[in-house]
Structure 1
Amino acid sequence: MTESRNSVVLAVDGGGTRCRVACEVAGVVYSSETGAANVSTDFEGAVAQIRAGIQAVSQQVDISVNDLLKRSAFIGLAGVTDGKMAARLRDALRLTCARIEDDRPAAVRGALGLQNGVIAHCGTGSFLASQTDGAMRFAGGWGSVLGDEASAQWVGRRALSQALKAYDGTHDSTALTRKLLADMDGPAGIVRFAGNATPAQLGALAPAVTSAAQAGDIVAEGIMLTGAGYIAETAQRLGWQAGMALCLTGGIAGQYTPYLSAEMQSAIRPPLGEPLSGALALAKEVAHEHC
C-alpha cells in the first residue's frame, strides 16, 4: 500500500478488560480487539496483547508490522503512570513516533471531540476530566484503595459497609442491607468476601444497589446521592459551568442522573464517540506535530 506517511495513523486503547487497536488509512478505519492490557499489573501480557492487535490490523491493511510501528501513533493504556512506564512501553514495541499516555485522554477526546465540557467516567473504576479549548484536566482514577469514588466497585463496597452498620444497629436496616447480609451468610461472610474481592466482584453488587435506590430504599438512595455529590463537586472544581456539556460514560455513570441537580441534568450530552475514536484523533495530532 503506497499511502503517504501522515495518511496512516495507529491507535491503541487498552484497559483491564480489553485492548483495541485501530489503523486509519486515508479515512478508512480498520480495527482489532484482544485481551486485557494494563501495563502496571502485567507489562509483558499487555505488550503481547498490543502486538497481537497490531498484527491483526497489519493483515487487514496490508502494511507490515514494522512499517505500522513507524507511523504516527497514540497509545492510551491503563497503567501508564509516568514517563518511565511510557518509555519502557515505547522501547518494548519499538515505536518511533508515538505519544504514550494512560487511557483517559482518549476517552475525553472520544466523548467530547474538540468541544468544551466535562466527562464523568464511572465503570468498575472512575475518573473525571474537563476539556477547555483543547486543554485537558483530570481528577481521580487512583484505584480502588485510594479513590475511584462513584465507581461500581465503590458503590458495592459502600453497600457492604452499610450492611455491617445496620447489623450493628447503628444505621438503618433496609431491604438492601438485609438482602446483602442474607446472601453472604451474615457479617462474617461479608468480611470474608470483601477481604478477597476484586474491584470487578465488588462492582457486580452495584446493580442491586441502583435497583434498590429506584425502589426507594433509603440506604441505596444515600449511596447514590453521595456518589452524585462527588461527581457534581469534582466537575465544578474542574471548571464545569452551566451550559457546558457533561458526558456520563461507563456502566454505572448514567444511574446518577436522577440524583444530580436539574441544572446538571440539562447539560448531559451523549458521548460523540468511543475512546478508540478519540485515540485515532490524538494520533492525527501526533502526525501533524512532529512526524
Structure 2
Amino acid sequence: MTYLIGVDCGGTHIVGQTWTTSPEHLVQSVTGGPGNVVLDYTGAIANLTGVLDQLVAPIPADQVGLILIGIAGIETAGHADEIQQLVNQRYQIKTRVISDAKLALLNRLAGADGLLVIAGTGSVVYGRQTGHFLRVGGWGYVLGDEGSAYDITKRAFKQILTRTDAGQTSQLTKPLLAQLDASSVPAAVQRFYAQNRQTNAQLAQLIASLADQGNSEAIAVLVASAQALAQQVITLYQRFETPRPQNIVLSGSVLQHNQLVRAALTTAIHQVVPTVKFNDITTNNAHAALYWHCWAQEENN
C-alpha cells in the first residue's frame, strides 16, 4: 500500500494528514503550532518536523510515496529548496515544498486549472493555466494583503486618523480605543505599532461586529477592503487566456465567516465577470497530496 502525506503550514497552525489512494482514506491527522517561516523560521521548522515525526512514525518509509508541504510565507522567505532538502534528509522520503496558497489551489481544484482567492490574516489571488502560475497581490501586510483581516484593521485605523486630523471623531474611535485599552488615539496608534501582525489582524473581528450592529463606518471599511481584493481577482482573471475559468474558489477566514465582505467581493466581481461561480474549500488543504500527480505530470511533459 502507498501512503501520501500532506502538510498545510498556516500562520496560526499546522495540519498534517496521511492518506491512502486506493481507496482514498484518511489514515491519520495531526495538528501543530504556527508554520509561517517568515515570522518565525526556527519555530515553524520545529513545529513542522514535530508533526511529520508523528505522521511518519507508524509507516515504513518505503511505503510513503510523497510528502507534500505547503508553507505560509515560503515565497517571500525563499527557503523552499532548503526545507525540502531538510525533510528529504530527515525522513528519506520524496518531498515537495510549495506555498500554502498553491496547496489550497491544488486541493480545491483537484489538480485542474482555475483561480483561488485567499483572505485570512493576509490575502493573495492565485491562478493556474496549462502548467503556468498566475498571481496577484499577497505582497504582505505592509505593501498589500488587500481584503485581509489585517487590511480591515488598517483601514479602520486610517478612518479614525482621517477623522482625528479633521478635528472630528469617527464612529470607530470609541470602540477601538476600548478594545485596545487605550486612553487616546495616539495611545491606540502606539499600541497598534507595538503589537504583532496576528494580534492586529484579530481587531478585524471588532470591525465586523460593529458592522453587524449597523455602524456605517465599519460597513464602509469592510466594503472598501472587499472591493480592493475584488479588483485583484478581476486583474488576475483577465490575465487568463481563453477559455477563462468559470469557477472561483474562495478560501480563508474572512471570506468564510464574514458574509458582508464575501457579498461585496462577489458583487464587485460579477459586475465585470457576471458568468463566474464561487465555490468554497471544504477539506483541509493537506488533502492536496492526493492531487500532486496532476501537476507533476504536467511538469514532466
- Report % sequence identity: 24
Query: 2:79 is aligned with what amino acid?
Result: M
**In the aligned structure 2, how far is the partner of 1:130 from the partner of 1:170?**
45
Q: Which segments of 5 or more consecutive residues in structure 1 lack a partner in the other structure?
A: none
* Deviation of 1:156 (Å): 0.9
Q: Any idea what the Cα deviations from partners look like across 1:45-80, whole Å, max 9, x if unmatched?
A: 323222222221234xx324x546x73232211232
**In the aligned structure 1, how far is the partner of 2:25 from the partner of 2:83?**
27
1:223-262 matched pairs, under 5 angstroms: 223-239=221-237, 244-254=246-256, 255=258, 256-260=261-265, 261=267
Question: What residue number does 2:4 align with?
Answer: 9
Is 1:194 the equivalent of 2:192?
yes
SS at structure 2 position matched to 1:38: coil
- Equivalent pair of 2:115/2:245 in contact (CA under 8 Å): no
Is 1:109 the equivalent of 2:114?
no
Q: Any idea what the Cα deviations from partners look like across 1:193-239, whole Å, max 9, x if unmatched?
A: 11112121111211221232344433222222221212221111111
Distance 1:233 1:284, change over 3 A: closer
Question: What residue number does 2:83 align with?
Answer: 89
Which region of structure 1 is more displaced relative to structure 2, 75-84 or 200-209?
75-84
Query: 1:157 is aligned with what amino acid?
Result: K
1:1-291 matched pairs, under 5 angstroms: 3=1, 7-25=2-20, 26=22, 27-29=24-26, 30-59=28-57, 62-64=58-60, 66-67=61-62, 71-81=65-75, 85-93=79-87, 94=89, 97-132=94-129, 135-169=132-166, 173-183=169-179, 184-239=182-237, 244-254=246-256, 255=258, 256-260=261-265, 261=267, 263=270, 267-282=277-292, 286=296
Q: What TM-score do you get using the length of structure 2 for normalisation?
A: 0.80
Distance 1:84 1:214, change over 3 A: closer
Query: 1:17 is aligned with what amino acid?
Result: T
* Deviation of 1:153 (Å): 1.2
**In the aligned structure 2, how far is the partner of 1:288 from the partner of 1:134?**
6
- Equivalent pair of 2:131/2:295 in contact (CA under 8 Å): no
Query: 1:175 is aligned with what amino acid?
Result: Q
Q: What TM-score do you get using the length of structure 1 for normalisation?
A: 0.82
**In the aligned structure 1, how far is the partner of 2:297 from the partner of 2:16?**
17
* Deviation of 1:280 (Å): 3.6
* Deviation of 1:105 (Å): 0.8
Distance 1:84 1:118, change over 3 A: closer
**In the aligned structure 1, how far is the partner of 2:78 from the partner of 2:200?**
31
**In the aligned structure 1, how far is the partner of 2:143 from the partner of 2:50?**
33
**In the aligned structure 1, how far is the partner of 2:231 from the partner of 2:289?**
28
- Equivalent pair of 1:163/1:178 in contact (CA under 8 Å): no
**In the aligned structure 2, how far is the partner of 1:252 from the partner of 1:87?**
31
Higher relative contact order, chain-length normalized (CA < 8 Å, sep 6+): 1
When the two chains are superposed, the root-mean-square deviation of aligned CA atoms in Å is 3.0
* Deviation of 1:128 (Å): 1.1
**In the aligned structure 2, how far is the partner of 1:286 from the partner of 1:115?**
12
* Deviation of 1:125 (Å): 1.0
Distance 1:137 1:274, change over 3 A: farther
